[in-house]
């Protein structure tokens, strides 16, 4: 499974429109991001491997489907990734979590790492990287490169919005990592913001500026 999946579910699109509106409050923005993350999580986990377990219902014994393999990992690209992480952990509470601290140098737009903490056995797990904005993709590329260096081989990337330039950059560096996004916007502006976009996702989530 490769390439880019646009999750064009009506609920996702409706919520995204409200998030884009500059008059939407911080509280609403945060709540909507959590709600969309549940729907994106549903899509990105659609093809998880299954096995069966013998259980007894009150009526009889049955072979019932259950997730196979080791617990998956959500890798949050700080700080905005945490907005997607929260909802995903509600759906997959047993998941492990990696945190990758990357900030964008506003001059060069390059990703600079300041924090990395992840489970030690990444090679045996599906790793779902979450970051709301795939803009230049510098952070996403750096995050996935680092996770691969630490052993991850089975990765997916989830964002809310992507720029065509970001998708091009990301898929050329990591063609093996499928991307899930709620929308692909028009372009990046000269400051590296997605247009029309929704502004700075971290600032809108946390009410900073």
Which are the catalytic amino acids?
Answer: 104, 108, 200, 203
Residues 173 to 192 in contact with ligand URA, rule: CB under 6 A: 192
Residues 116 to 145 in contact with ligand URA, rule: CB under 6 A: 133, 135
CB nearer to ligand URA: pick between 130 and 194: 194
CB nearer to ligand URA: pick between 83 and 178: 83
- Token representation of residue 96: 């492990």
On the question of a cis peptide bond just before residue 94, with omega within 30 degrees of 0, the verdict is no
CB nearer to ligand URA: pick between 73 and 133: 133
Cβ atoms of 84 and 37 within 8 Å: the answer is yes
Q: Is 111 within any annotated ligand binding site?
A: no
**Cα separation, 113 vs 42, whole angstroms:** 29
Residues in the chain: 209
Q: Is 189 within any annotated ligand binding site?
A: no
Q: Is 8 within any annotated ligand binding site?
A: no
Go through 62-96 and write b for each residue having 16 or more CB atoms within 10 A of its CB, e for each that does not: eeeeeeeeeebbbbbbbbbbbbbbbbbbeebeebb
Binding string, 41-80, against ligand URA, x = CB under 6 A? ---------------------------------------x
Q: Is 193 in the site for ligand URA (CB under 6 A)?
A: yes
CB nearer to ligand URA: pick between 41 and 198: 198
List phi, psi (to 5°) of 125.
-130, 150
**Cα separation, 96 vs 71, whole angstroms:** 7
SS3 5: strand
**Cα separation, 144 vs 72, whole angstroms:** 15
**Cα separation, 158 vs 74, whole angstroms:** 10
**CB of residue 135 to ligand URA, shortest distance in Å:** 4
Q: Which of 197, 207, 208, 209 binds ligand URA (CB under 6 A)?
A: 197
Binding residues, as ranges, are: 79, 104, 131-139, 194, 199-201
Per CB under 6 A, residues contacting ligand URA are 80, 133, 135, 192-194, 197, 200-202
Binding residues for uracil, as ranges, are: 194, 199-201
């Amino acid at each position: 499974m490769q390439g880019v999946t646009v999750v064009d579910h009506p609920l996702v699109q409706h919520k995204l429109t409200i998030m884009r509106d500059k008059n939407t409050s911080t509280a609403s923005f945060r709540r909507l991001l959590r709600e969309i993350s549940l729907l994106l999580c549903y899509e990105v986990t659609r093809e998880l491997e299954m096995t069966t377990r013998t259980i007894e219902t009150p009526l009889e014994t049955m072979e019932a489907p259950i997730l196979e393999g080791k617990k998956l990992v959500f890798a949050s690209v700080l700080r905005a990734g945490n907005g997607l992480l929260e909802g995903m952990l509600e759906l997959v509470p047993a998941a492990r979590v990696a945190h990758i601290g990357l900030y964008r140098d506003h001059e060069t737009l390059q990703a600079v790492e300041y924090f990395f903490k992840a489970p030690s056995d990444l090679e045996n797990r599906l790793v779902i990287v979450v970051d709301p904005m795939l803009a230049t993709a510098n952070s996403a590329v750096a995050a996935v490169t680092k996770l691969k260096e630490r052993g991850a081989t089975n990765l997916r990337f989830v964002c809310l919005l992507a720029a065509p330039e970001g998708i091009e950059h990301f898929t050329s560096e990591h063609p093996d990592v499928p991307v899930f996004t709620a929308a692909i916007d028009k372009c990046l502006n000269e400051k590296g913001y997605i247009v029309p976009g929704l502004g700075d996702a971290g600032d809108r989530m946390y009410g900073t500026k």
